[in-house]
Amino acid sequence: MRQKKYAALAWEKEYINLLKKYNSSEVMTVAFMAERSVQDELERGSHSDVITVAVSYIIMFAYIAIALGDIKSCSRLLIDSKITLGLVGVLIVLLSVVAALGIFSFLGVPATLIIVEVVPFLVLAVGVDNIFILVQQFQRDVRHQGESVREQVGRLVGEVAPSMMLSSVSMSACFFIGALTEMPAVRIFALYAGVALLINFFLQMTCFLGLFTLDTVRQENNRLDLCCCIQASKKSQQGVNSSLLYKFFKKVYAPFLLGNRVRLVVLLVFAGWFCSSVAVIDKIDVGLDQELAMPEDSYLQQYFEYLKKYLQVGPPVYFVVTEGYDYSKTENQARLCLAEQVCSQDSVGAKLKQLTLLSNRTYVTRMRSYWLDQYITYMRSSDCCFENVKTGEFCYSKHGEDNGECAKCFVPRDQPFDNGTFTRFLPWFLADVPGAHCSSAGRAEHGSSVSQVNGTVNAAYFSLYHPVLKTSKDFYSALEWARLIASYMTKVVQEVEPDVEVIPYSLVHVFYEQYLTMWPDTFKNLSLSLGAIFVVTFILLGLDAISAAIVTFTILMIIVNLMGLMYWWNISLNAVSLVNLVVGVGISVEFCSHLVRVFALSKEGNKTKRAQDALTNMGSSILSGITLTDCGILVLAFAKSQIFQVFYFRMYLGIIAFGTLHSLIFLPVFLSVLGPPVSKEKILEQVQMDEMASQLGQQSYIRKDNADPATITRT
């Protein structure tokens, strides 16, 4: 079986190559397609954009390496840069993805193109933000008297690790819950993403944390980045180094945003934006047009164009009548057939003929000849059925009366065509070859229409044509109508045979069945993901229902506005965009959770001051760690693949832009108005955790009083 498959694929490959060469002729243009064409062109399109995707990640890495640095002067450029740290951070992301691929490959869960393209971006967005939060928190921190580097890192990890764990665990839970969906592409993606995020968090809390401590020691010893064996003479500058972005948030942006008039305007604008997005969600197109999935220079683009332009009928649709229907009974024949001399006026065949007159609504047109009708015609004809008068065996109609041993076996109109007559001559009809003498012989057109067991009909099908199907809506609407027709036919046949049913099938139905339940699947996935985020956030924020609700509501706003963008930017809803919406939910956690946690633990006075404190401490990390890092996706706008341009560039741009706007504009204002009150218990608990982290660091490491500040010995 496998050898036959490979042989067929090889033949189709040569067929495609031949037609490509022939198509260069000026005599005529041939639009063509083979069964393997779609898969080949999808692979070619993804491979052609490897460089584009690589450039995107290189830009992200370059930014991370530069932005992480705490560069105080040009003379300290090679000392204060964080190229090694940035490289390891990106490498940890790749290791997380590879580890997830390895785990699921071992378990036999297949990887898809969506996983390879989307999961690295998702893990990079989360991982880099955590890195920026940790590194920038260290850069803004003042080392305590007598505190070593490792003790300081331990104390800071006690402060920021809960926030990092909150975002990572919330996102993983979001994806694991999303894996409950019945849509395979979304389910497999969710499993891979959830595991990759957990592995990434584990590696950050172990490998990256150790390297970060060593890199800090290197910097304090004035050793060069990338070449730590070389030590510069100039000593490190002491004191806190606040970046320009941090100062901008603290002195300019936060006070301006949280002014009374500005807050009112922000709430009104975002409320209007949210309502306008809700109004257009139900108008989003469902499906994925074939042309959009192909590269712009694909030969299939011409084929799809000519298909719509020149053809009069679309693909055939088959209706399979399952085992158990007794065709030999005249009354059963009358329920299904179309022949006027035998069938009733309200038979299935007659109803289908009526439906073909409304093809613009019913998506069925031009009935193909029905084997039962043609069999009846074959038997009534005087030029078709012949049998050997001596042996009683079958004679081909092309020989007919020319063979002296053959005689006519047709059934007169006034005789019933049932029981033994029907069963005896059916194999002859299916074996007879049509020709000039007998055009109704069934071998050519109906040889595979009937499955026989011991001379009786086991199962059979008849078929119609769909009209030309141009859009995704046409395809899944045609599937809906095919199922409605099959349901009606099932009711008719079950009146006499209760165990029989009619099943519709067309080759194109396989690819569009998912769109019939796309909206329910979308709402189910997003609801489960948001519910998981609420539960995990509620638990990890110390059973703070208000904070968990604010995080969940803000993420809901981001996703609703992203769906509004899908309508205005002509992005259809399908498996790819649904995966991106789930990714949007996950990345939105990263945008919102850190800021809400800092607000909940802030010791400032009123809600406005606490919101300003949270925005000051986390705003610059969010902007530099997620927003600016992911600007590398702008390169995807130049991808050759239209899927990259539409579903990745446009939607990723929307996720990053809307996440930034909601986290840095709407969320601080919303917290200043409806944020949770100060929790003294949480603040006391956080202080105790910080003290515990500091004490553990002091017990594990002892700094020598007269040694270099970075020289530490383990007890």
Torsional class of 542: left (φ above 0), alpha (ψ -120 to 50), beta (otherwise): left
703 bridge partner residues? 712
CA distance 439 to 397: 10
Does residue 442 carry a pLDDT above 70? yes
Percent of the chain whose pLDDT exceeds 90? 11
Tens-place pLDDT, residues 166-209: 878 887 887 887 777 777 777 888 888 889 989 988 998 888 88
Amino acid residing at 506: S
pLDDT exceeds cutoff 60 at 35:
yes
* Beta-carbon count within 10 A of 231 CB: 11
Q: Flag the least confident range among 114-128, 400-414, 598-612.
A: 400-414
**Is the per-residue pLDDT at 235 higher than 60?**
no
d(CA 89, CA 203): 9
Q: What's the pLDDT tens digit per position in 304-359? A: 888 888 888 888 999 999 988 888 888 888 888 776 556 767 788 888 888 888 88
Average of per-residue pLDDT across 629-648: 71
What is the C-alpha separation between 416 and 412, in angstroms, rounded?
A: 8
pLDDT over threshold 50, residue 473? yes
In order of 92, 188, 194, 205, the CA distances from 95 in angstroms are: 5, 19, 14, 14
Q: Tell which wins on pLDDT, 284 or 605.
A: 284
Report the pLDDT averaged over residues 561-582.
Answer: 89
- Structural tokens at position 23: 């198509």
Q: In the predicted model, is pLDDT for residue 707 greater than 50?
A: no
| Among candidate residues 657, 315, 267, the one with its CA nearest the CA of residue 504 | 315
pLDDT band (50, 70, 90) for residue 525: confident
Lowest mean pLDDT among 14-28, 65-79, 95-109: 65-79
CB count within 10 Å of CB 451 equals 12
How confident is the model at residue 48, as a pLDDT?
A: 65
**d(Cα 195, Cα 209) in Å, to the nearest integer?**
20
pLDDT given at position 715: 32
706 pLDDT more than 60: no
Residues 413-441 have a mean pLDDT of 80
Mean pLDDT of the chain: 80
pLDDT at 703: 41
Candidate from 179-183, 499-503, 609-613 with smallest mean pLDDT: 179-183
pLDDT computed for residue 482 by the predictor: 92
Q: CA–CA separation, 656 vs 648, rounded Å? A: 12
Q: Is the pLDDT of residue 240 over 60?
A: no
Q: What is the pLDDT of residue 402?
A: 66
Q: How far apart are CA 207 and CA 94, in angstroms?
A: 14
Half-sphere CA count of 43, side-chain side, radius 13 A: 5
What pLDDT does residue 31 have? Answer: 87
Q: DSSP for 642-682? A: HHIIIIIIIHHHHHHHHHHHIIIIIHHHHHHHHPPPP-HHH
3-state DSSP call for residue 601? Answer: helix
Segment 625-635 mean pLDDT: 67
User: In the chain, what percentage of residues exceed pLDDT 70?
Assistant: 85
- Residues facing 463 on adjacent strands: 318
Give the range with max mean pLDDT: 116-125, 545-554, 590-599: 545-554
Degrees, nearest 5: CA angle 377-383-387 = 95
Beta bridge partners of 714: 701
Q: Please name the residue that has the structure tokens 């004490």.
A: 695
Structure tokens at 621: 């990390």
Which H/E stretch holds residue 406? Answer: strand 406-408
Asked if pLDDT for residue 239 goes beyond 60, the answer is no
Taking residues 543-558, report their average pLDDT.
Answer: 91
Identify the three-state secondary structure at position 534.
helix
pLDDT at position 407 over 70: yes
Average pLDDT over residues 472-498: 90
- Kindly report the backbone phi and psi dihedral angles of residue 395, in degrees, each rounded to the nearest multiple of 5, phi listed first: -120, 135
pLDDT confidence band for 701 (50 / 70 / 90): very low
Per-residue pLDDT band for 85 (boundaries 50, 70, 90) equals confident
pLDDT bucket at 302, cuts 50 / 70 / 90: confident
| Residue 70, pLDDT above cutoff 80 | no
pLDDT in tens, 653-664: 898 889 989 999
Q: Is residue 199 a contact partner of residue 173, using CB atoms and an 8 Å limit? A: no
Q: What is the pLDDT of residue 704?
A: 38
Calculate mean pLDDT across residues 62-86.
Answer: 72
DSSP string for residues in 250-306: IIIIHHHHTSHHHHHHHHHHHHHHHHHHHHHGGG--BS--HHHHS-TT-HHHHHHHH
Q: What is the pLDDT of residues 138-177, one digit of tens each?
A: 777 777 777 777 888 888 888 788 878 887 888 788 788 7
- What integer is the mean pLDDT of 36-62? 75
Please enumerate in sequence order all residues whose Cβ is within 8 A of that of 180, keeping only pairs 6 or more positions apart, or say none.
187, 528
Long-range contacts of 26-33 (CB under 8 A, 24+ apart): 29/302, 31/299, 31/302, 31/303, 31/305, 31/306, 31/307, 32/299, 32/303, 33/300, 33/303
